[in-house]
Amino acid sequence: MSSRITPEQIDRIVGNQHHNPFEVLGSHKFEQDGKVCWVVRAYLPNAEAAWVLLPTERKSYPMQSVHHPHFFEVEIEIPRLANYQLRIKKGGREWVSYDPYGFRSAKLTEFDLHLFAEGNHHRIYEKLGAHPTEIDRVEGVYFAVWAPNARNVSVIGDFNDWDGRQHQMRKGATGIWELFIPELGVGAAYKYEIKNSEGHIYQKSDPYGFQQEVRPKTASIVTDLDGYEWHDHDWMEHRRHTDPLRQPISVYEIHLGSWLHGSSAELPQGANGETLTVVTVSDLKPGARFLTYRELAQKLIPYIKELGFTHIEILPLAEHPFDGSWGYQLTGYYACTSRYGSPQDLMFLIDQCHQNGIGVILDWVPGHFPKDAHGLAFFDGTHLYEYADPRQGEHQEWGTLVFNYGRNEVRNFLVANALFWFDKYHIDGMRVDAVASMLYLDYLRGDRQWIPNQYGGRENLEAVDFLRQTHHVIFGYYPGVLSIAEESTDWPMVSWPNYLGGLGFNLKWNMGWMHDTLDYFSMDPWFRQFHQNNVTFSMWYNHAENYMLALSHDEVVHGKSNMLGKIPGDEWLKFANLRCLYAYMFAHPGKKTLFMSMEFGQWSEWNVWGDLEWDLLQYQPHKNLKQFITDLNYLYRREPALYTQDFDQDGFEWIDCSDNRHSVVSFIRYAHDSEEFIVTVCNFTPQPHSHYRVGVPEMGFYKELLNSDARQYGGSNMGNLGGKWTDEWFFHNHYYSLDLCLPPLGVLILKLDDQKTQAELQ
């Protein structure tokens, strides 16, 4: 028997140095004296004895050690050998299992490999990673990982005592290693043990793994994502046939881990009533724990419905090792974080959002990844996912690595990842973080610390191609979804479609508006007359992009203070200014985003380790502000003029933008395919103005839809007694005008009341 295999071959298996252990291990057919025979070989570290069991016979065949005490072999004369089992004796106990090397079927086809190699396998996550499946009527898990420069790759886990000698994988032509492990199932923890050409060993979590252990553990977990039963068909179908740019989009940005905490004394229950394991937060708040996805569905959704937001935007939910990174340094791009529960629990949260009319946007981070040993960094002993040259492949200020967008397989990893969240989790949009860091080769780099592109420029052309490919794919599969760029420079056509030469996003955060507006409201109101441009300049460039006005988490951390702290004056002035800012924001063209706590006026900066300051809602000014945001949201959603032409020049008209002496601006918003319009007048000083005249396009009664100075919001209750009739007085290039009382730090939103006007005229 030993003549059929050489000691060198056995040594390669024992030394974990064989790129295709199937050539040696498993069953091999041969003929002897005209008869069909089989030789079965197994490498069983530390085993004392082994037998082959055949399913068609009540007989076992003892195996013998060959060249190595733990390398076993037996010859069997039988026409056909399939689904045999091994009986193994080790450490005084015996068990029976199927031989992984007895299953040669591969899940990856030649076409799969071809698409992946050229970067166009849109659903590669259904092939790479760990997938419960059945081969030859035996259930198990199929593993596949891309590690082209590795010398060897093994699957390790509790099932083999984390011993990389036992489940060595087979390398394919494109650098993908694969192995089917029979009888393994959902819930098994695993990693890949990877050896490079020098024999250095790396233990890596699965880049395509769907779940990971709760930090600080880092193993991947075998998961089946197809078992959840969705109930959002109507939502998904409506979204598919809807242009989101014509819809109201008011987003509540949230970090799930610090919105609200639970108590470790109160243990949550799972979908089947079982008690769930809870994850504690930090020593900064003893006894606190994260709410689960299912608990958040119970608490967050009613709150969002009450406030009237159309969407929630969740800071990154892909797995990340450090709570303090807010989720922006990812190690598991295909795994939702286990801090809050299982993938099915997240699906439940999103499903419940959809059933309650709330869209879900996730932050997505394709711009960089951390150096954690179990992650993507130096994955197969080489710079596989990142650029090799640190002048391209490292963000030194962030301590993170940059994806190699020029490598097809890496680009495929990211493009498929974007699609994955829409496919498996039914999200409605993604907000792409730090786009500028991807677009510019010299981003946060000094002289001689970056490499120009092939034309000598600073533009990362490979990243541009990647972003365009991503949008081509996701909008092709899922029309009606959102892709929002956080892009802080003047890169042109960010939110233009690919076919017009754009990057393909359909929205872009308006960082210029945000900075100008916050600078303006941080001034003493007397000085605002000299800076009128801060609140008018945005309309000069508004139609260059599809803008979203965002007051995000970045504006309430790192010493920037929360919103109230940015504004000068006493408490009354602070709240009045904040209402004025929010009303101006919602009347201004563009979709809207507010970060959690801004809706009730938290005083302190956002602290990722603690709750929001919910106790503030016992005080009237904070309750009033929350009610103001609620009314503002519902007004915004109710009036098509405020959202249907955000990005059309026909949707906006200045009445007067030059009254800097009074720090007043006034403008009109027009609805799409309708004669409806909204008049907005903003007084940015504490000085009220009586008999302030503004021109309007039609005669009649203009109802006061919103007055930010109303008593129910904590204001001085100055206003126009619910509305005003026009005078036939030519003003601001209109034949009719309104004589208004402008309240201090107040915003008036008015609309022509057709019924009252017609009744009066008759």
pLDDT digits (tens, 9 = 90+) for 450-493: 999 999 999 999 999 999 999 999 999 999 999 999 999 999 99
Q: What is the pLDDT of residues 613-631, one digit of tens each?
A: 999 999 999 999 999 999 9
Q: The tokens 């959809």 sit on which residue?
A: 354
Domain residues for the domain of 420 are 243-258+290-636
The per-residue DSSP string of 358-376 comes to: -EEEEEE--S-B---TTSS
Q: Determine, yes or no, domain membership for 612.
A: yes
Do 330 and 412 sit in the same domain of this protein? Answer: yes
Identify the three-state secondary structure at position 118: coil
Domain boundary among 70, 96, 122: 96
- Give yes or no for a contact between 584 and 513, defined as CB atoms under 8 angstroms apart: no
Do 397 and 546 sit in the same domain of this protein? Answer: yes
Number of domains in the chain: 4
- Asked if residue 159 has pLDDT above 70, the reply is yes
- Determine the straight-line distance between the first and last CA of the chain, rounded to whole angstroms: 109
Q: Determine, yes or no, domain membership for 58.
A: yes
Is residue 760 among the annotated active site residues?
A: no
Distance between alpha carbon 462 and the CA centroid of its chain, in Å? 22
Is residue 73 among the annotated active site residues?
A: no
- Give me the CATH number covering residue 734: 2.60.40.1180
Token pair for 311: 């969407």
Asked whether the CA dihedral 70, 75, 76, 81 is positive or negative, the reply is positive
Do 179 and 53 sit in the same domain of this protein? Answer: no
Q: According to the model, what pLDDT value does residue 20 have?
A: 92
Do 27 and 154 sit in the same domain of this protein? Answer: no
Do 388 and 532 sit in the same domain of this protein? Answer: yes
Q: According to the model, what pLDDT value does residue 279 have?
A: 80
- Asked if residue 308 has pLDDT above 80, the reply is yes
Q: Determine, yes or no, domain membership for 280.
A: no
- Select which of 433, 545, 646, 753 is catalytic: 433
- Helices 461-477 and 408-425 pack at an angle, to 10 degrees, of 30
- Give yes or no for a contact between 203 and 156, defined as CB atoms under 8 angstroms apart: yes
Q: What is the pLDDT of residues 66-124, one digit of tens each?
A: 889 999 999 998 888 888 999 999 988 999 999 999 998 778 999 999 999 999 999 99
Angstrom distance (rounded) from CA 668 to CA 652 = 6
User: DSSP character for 30?
Assistant: E
Domain boundary among 41, 76, 96: 96
- Give yes or no for a contact between 165 and 154, defined as CB atoms under 8 angstroms apart: yes
Q: According to the model, what pLDDT value does residue 1 have?
A: 42
Q: Determine, yes or no, domain membership for 409.
A: yes
Do 347 and 399 sit in the same domain of this protein? Answer: yes
Angstrom distance (rounded) from CA 368 to CA 366 = 6
- pLDDT band of residue 208 (cuts 50, 70, 90) is very high
Q: Which amino acid is at 589?
A: P
- Give me the CATH number covering residue 177: 2.60.40.10
Q: Determine, yes or no, domain membership for 170.
A: yes
What count of other Cβ atoms lies within 10 Å of the Cβ of residue 103? 21
- pLDDT average, residue stretch 580-595: 98
Domain boundary among 75, 96, 117: 96
Residues facing 262 on adjacent strands? 289
Is 0.85 topped by the overall pTM? yes
Q: Determine, yes or no, domain membership for 225.
A: no
Q: Determine, yes or no, domain membership for 186.
A: yes
Q: According to the model, what pLDDT value does residue 73 have?
A: 94
Largest Cα separation within the chain, whole Å, is 113
- Give yes or no for a contact between 516 and 535, defined as CB atoms under 8 angstroms apart: yes
Asked whether the CA dihedral 493, 495, 497, 498 is positive or negative, the reply is positive
Residues whose CB is less than 8 angstroms from the CB of residue 540 and which lie 6 or more positions away in sequence, other chains included: none
Q: How long is the chain?
A: 762
Q: According to the model, what pLDDT value does residue 761 have?
A: 66
Do 415 and 564 sit in the same domain of this protein? Answer: yes
Q: According to the model, what pLDDT value does residue 271 have?
A: 65
Q: According to the model, what pLDDT value does residue 3 have?
A: 43
- pLDDT band of residue 2 (cuts 50, 70, 90) is very low
- Asked if residue 270 has pLDDT above 70, the reply is no
- Asked if residue 132 has pLDDT above 90, the reply is yes
Do 579 and 697 sit in the same domain of this protein? Answer: no
Angstrom distance (rounded) from CA 274 to CA 315 = 28
Do 652 and 627 sit in the same domain of this protein? Answer: no
Residues facing 182 on adjacent strands? 140
Q: Determine, yes or no, domain membership for 226.
A: no
- Give me the CATH number covering residue 529: 3.20.20.80
Do 84 and 114 sit in the same domain of this protein? Answer: no
Do 14 and 75 sit in the same domain of this protein? Answer: yes
Q: What is the pLDDT of residues 357-398, one digit of tens each?
A: 999 999 999 999 999 999 999 999 999 999 999 999 999 889
Do 363 and 489 sit in the same domain of this protein? Answer: yes
User: DSSP character for 734?
Assistant: B
- Give yes or no for a contact between 562 and 602, defined as CB atoms under 8 angstroms apart: yes
Token pair for 446: 């000094």
Residues whose CB is less than 8 angstroms from the CB of residue 527 and which lie 6 or more positions away in sequence, other chains included: none
